[in-house]
């Protein structure tokens, strides 16, 4: 059995502060309702990831083990490739609890020919009494929980002075009860006249079997007004960034960014997926129709960024980056890297060229790796272009390159990060000293490496080329021996690897009152 004490020690606490930046009296009144709505996402996410948590709580677990299971929303360690936390639970199914454990992808595809709702991102797949696959809508499977969330959202909307919140919270409440989220995604893109906001519902894909099903999550957010204002200069540049992408024009259709925003927030509360995989940045919505018509809101989450940078990135850089390049691993560079990454999610192509199908379902289980890799590469491409145009110094670009390397080493269990590491190494964009085991960026080779991989990933999306993506990750998405030894060094050094959200005592007391 794993050493739970050591693994708990390696979790970085992210302090949640609902009152910084300051809220108005009305926003403070609304906050507990939004948090209670968010809390309603916890049980559905448990069911999606594992099943009924009471089966685990019935076991005689030690306090630390129980806490670690709770943090992971199940008996598998998310930060250690889903290694079992408890003896006897076996490995985590790739499809978690979204599908029957004995279902094969081939059986699913055959059944989906007659029942397309099986492929909805908002249905569980279950067997009937005869063993046939059927779709169970989320809003039916989790009815008591989404009803609670919708009730709290509507209570907040009734008392909100903000026109945006009234419209958005009511639309999102309806969406939770119907699994039709497009209207609420359009409402999310309307002008905001408040510092308070919430993302709630089944959003990001956690399904590693077929890459279809979305996980329940919630983040309650408070806008940092001054920091947001400092990013305003990026918005008019978005069409220019899109046009500059290193692919033929058909892979970069003209960008409608009429409602796109770049914003900075503080995380006040998180639940479901966002509690155990708390985002440093958010690009939403994922709906391709809304993206094409309205754009994307790209959010940086300030307190999460700061906590992870100081507790995770700096120690990792001290261990793995050449001493004379460690000075470039700064909070400013990390902030800029995440900003460009989230901004890049809104760029590129959303529909395949030949069939005009949304890219995510076409790329299936590989979509997450391709899209996250694209966001990393497009963000670095934008930085290189900004430097070429004289808008970013060589030192600032080098800081981004070194920060990107640290980010890839931090996410060593992600296929997109291993792909980036392998391709960049082959291109001479970085090297690893065999004696000391430290990495060095070679900025003169970075632009060509960035351009080549950016081109490859954008074409895979536009062509809807699942087999091409499969071949690319098979060839370049496996960690080499040197990286495996570095992973062992990270483990031996007991560096922090993840984070856990901690609401302050006065806030917990407010919620329980």
Residue 423 and residue 114: Cα distance in Å, rounded?
Answer: 42
Residue 313 DSSP symbol: I
- Give a yes or no: residue 507 inside a domain: no
**Omega cis (within 30) before 67:** no
- Which residues does 81 contact at the CB level (< 8 Å), separation at least 6? 413
Residue 260: Cβ within 10 Å count: 21
Same domain for 421 and 381, yes or no, is yes
- Give a yes or no: residue 167 inside a domain: yes
Same domain for 289 and 201, yes or no, is no
Residue 417 and residue 376: Cα distance in Å, rounded?
Answer: 9
| Helical H segments across 346-480, by residue range | 359-363, 367-388, 394-410, 415-426, 446-463, 466-476
Same domain for 368 and 395, yes or no, is yes
Model pLDDT, residue 145: 98
Model pLDDT, residue 22: 82
**Nearest-5° angle of CA 286, CA 292, CA 297?**
50
**Nearest-5° angle of CA 235, CA 239, CA 243?**
145
- Which residues does 282 contact at the CB level (< 8 Å), separation at least 6? 199, 219, 297, 298, 299, 301, 342
Model pLDDT, residue 512: 41
Residue 490 and residue 484: Cα distance in Å, rounded?
Answer: 10
Same domain for 268 and 394, yes or no, is yes
- Give a yes or no: residue 504 inside a domain: no
């994922």: which residue's tokens? 286
- Residue 81 in tokens: 């490739």
User: How many domains does one find in the chain?
Assistant: 2
Q: Are the beta carbons of 342 and 375 closer than 8 angstroms? A: yes
pTM, whole model, 2 decimals? Answer: 0.91
Domain that holds residue 289: 224-497
Residue 358 and residue 345: Cα distance in Å, rounded?
Answer: 14
Integer-rounded Cα Rg, in Å, for the chain is 22
SS3 label, residue 77:
strand
Same domain for 208 and 245, yes or no, is no
Residue 95 and residue 215: Cα distance in Å, rounded?
Answer: 12
**Beta-strand pair 261-272/297-301:** parallel
Cα–Cα distance list, 155 to 29, 150, 158, 217, 294 (Å): 11, 9, 5, 20, 28
Phi–psi pair at 329, nearest 5 degrees: -85, 90
- Residue 485 in tokens: 């030894």
Task: Evaluate the CA torsion angle 464, 470, 475, 478 in order and state its sign.
Answer: positive
Q: Are the beta carbons of 378 and 454 closer than 8 angstroms? A: yes
- Give a yes or no: residue 308 inside a domain: yes
Q: Where are the beta strands (DSSP E) in 207-296?
A: 214-223, 261-272, 281-284
Residue 256 and residue 239: Cα distance in Å, rounded?
Answer: 8
- Give a yes or no: residue 502 inside a domain: no
Same domain for 205 and 231, yes or no, is no
Same domain for 168 and 197, yes or no, is yes
Same domain for 8 and 135, yes or no, is yes
Q: Which residue, 189, 214, 239, sits at the end of a domain?
A: 214
Please classify residue 116 by burial: count the beta carbons closer than 10 Å to its beta carbon, then call 0-12 exposed, 13-18 middle and 19+ buried.
exposed
Cα–Cα distance list, 410 to 26, 80, 404, 418 (Å): 40, 12, 10, 10
Same domain for 369 and 418, yes or no, is yes
Same domain for 210 and 235, yes or no, is no
- Residue 470 in tokens: 């499969």
- Give a yes or no: residue 505 inside a domain: no
- Residue 498 in tokens: 């993840």
Q: Which among 302, 297, 296, 311 is positioned nearest to 335, based on CA atoms?
A: 302
Q: Which residue, 182, 214, 246, sits at the end of a domain?
A: 214
- Give a yes or no: residue 510 inside a domain: no
- Residue 281 in tokens: 């940045």
Same domain for 139 and 231, yes or no, is no
Question: Mind listing the pLDDT tens digit of every residue in the chain (513 residues)?
Answer: 789 999 999 998 888 876 666 899 999 999 999 999 999 999 999 999 999 999 999 997 899 999 999 999 999 999 888 999 999 999 999 999 999 999 999 999 999 999 999 999 999 999 999 999 999 999 999 999 999 999 999 999 999 999 999 999 999 999 999 999 999 999 999 999 999 999 999 999 999 999 999 999 999 999 999 999 999 989 899 999 999 999 999 999 988 767 789 999 999 999 999 999 999 999 999 999 999 999 999 999 999 999 999 999 999 999 999 999 999 999 999 999 999 999 999 999 999 999 999 999 999 999 999 999 999 999 999 999 999 999 999 999 999 999 999 999 988 778 999 999 999 999 999 999 999 999 999 999 999 999 999 999 999 999 999 999 999 999 999 998 998 899 889 888 888 878 888 655 444 444 443
Q: Which among 151, 198, 208 is positioned nearest to 176, based on CA atoms?
A: 151
- Residue 83 in tokens: 């290694």
- Give a yes or no: residue 187 inside a domain: yes
Residue 279 and residue 218: Cα distance in Å, rounded?
Answer: 11
Residue 327: Cβ within 10 Å count: 13
Q: Which residue, 153, 183, 214, sits at the end of a domain?
A: 214
Model pLDDT, residue 19: 63
Residue 294 and residue 285: Cα distance in Å, rounded?
Answer: 10
Please classify residue 12 by burial: count the beta carbons closer than 10 Å to its beta carbon, then call 0-12 exposed, 13-18 middle and 19+ buried.
middle
Same domain for 210 and 239, yes or no, is no
């009924």: which residue's tokens? 52
Angle, helices 505-512/25-39, rounded to nearest 10 degrees:
80
Buried b (16+ CB within 10 A) or exposed e, 335-368: bbbbbbbbbbbbbbbbbbbeeeebbbebbbbbbb
Taking the C-alpha atoms of 357, 344, 408 and 219 in order, what is their torsion angle to the nearest 10 degrees? -90
Q: Are the beta carbons of 362 and 466 closer than 8 angstroms? A: yes
């Amino acid at each position: 059995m794993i050493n739970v004490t050591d693994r708990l020690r390696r979790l970085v606490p992210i302090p949640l502060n609902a009152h910084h930046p300051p809220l108005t009296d009305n926003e403070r009144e609304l906050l507990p309702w939004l948090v209670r709505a968010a809390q309603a996402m916890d049980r559905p996410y448990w069911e999606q990831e594992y099943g009924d948590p009471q089966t685990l709580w019935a076991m005689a677990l030690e306090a630390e083990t129980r806490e670690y299971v709770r943090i992971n929303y199940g008996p598998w360690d998310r930060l250690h490739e889903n290694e079992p936390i408890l003896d006897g639970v076996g490995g985590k199914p790739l499809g978690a609890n979204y599908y029957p454990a004995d279902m094969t992808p081939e059986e699913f595809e055959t059944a989906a020919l007659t029942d397309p709702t099986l492929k909805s991102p908002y249905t569980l797949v279950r067997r009937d009494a005869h063993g046939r696959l059927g779709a169970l809508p989320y809003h039916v499977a989790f009815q008591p929980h989404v009803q609670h969330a919708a009730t709290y959202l509507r209570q907040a909307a009734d008392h909100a002075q903000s026109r945006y919140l009234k419209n958005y919270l009511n639309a999102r409440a309806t969406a939770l009860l119907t699994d039709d989220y497009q209207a609420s995604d359009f409402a999310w893109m309307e002008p905001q006249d408040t510092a308070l906001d919430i993302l709630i519902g089944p959003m990001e894909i956690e399904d590693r079997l077929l890459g279809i099903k979305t996980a329940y999550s919630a983040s309650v957010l408070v806008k940092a007004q001054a920091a947001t204002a400092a990013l305003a200069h990026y918005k008019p540049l978005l069409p220019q960034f899109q046009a500059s992408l290193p692919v033929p024009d058909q892979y970069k259709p003209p960008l409608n960014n009429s409602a796109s925003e770049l914003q900075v927030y503080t995380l006040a509360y998180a639940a479901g997926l966002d509690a155990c995989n708390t985002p440093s940045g958010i690009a939403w919505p994922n709906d391709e129709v809304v993206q094409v018509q309205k754009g994307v809101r790209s959010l940086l989450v300030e307190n999460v960024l700061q906590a992870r940078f100081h507790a995770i990135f700096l120690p990792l850089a001290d261990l793995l980056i050449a001493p004379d390049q460690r000075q470039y691993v700064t909070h400013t560079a990390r902030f800029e890297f995440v900003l460009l990454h989230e901004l890049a999610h809104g760029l590129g192509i959303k529909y395949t060229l030949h069939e005009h199908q949304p890219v995510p379902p076409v790329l299936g289980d590989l979509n997450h790796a391709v899209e996250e890799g694209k966001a990393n590469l497009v963000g670095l491409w934008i930085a290189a272009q900004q430097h070429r145009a004289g808008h970013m110094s060589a030192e600032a670009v080098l800081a981004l390159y070194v920060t990107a390397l640290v980010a890839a080493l931090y996410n060593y269990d992600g296929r997109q990060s291993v792909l980036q590491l392998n391709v960049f190494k082959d291109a001479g964009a970085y090297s690893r000293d065999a004696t000391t085991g430290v990495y060095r960026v070679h900025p003169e080779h970075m632009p060509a490496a960035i351009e080549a991989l950016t081109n490859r990933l954008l074409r895979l999306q536009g062509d809807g080329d699942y087999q091409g993506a499969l071949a690319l990750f098979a060839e370049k998405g496996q960690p080499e021996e040197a990286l495996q030894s570095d992973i062992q060094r990270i483990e031996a050094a007991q560096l922090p690897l993840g984070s856990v959200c901690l609401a302050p005592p006065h806030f917990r007391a407010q919620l329980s009152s």
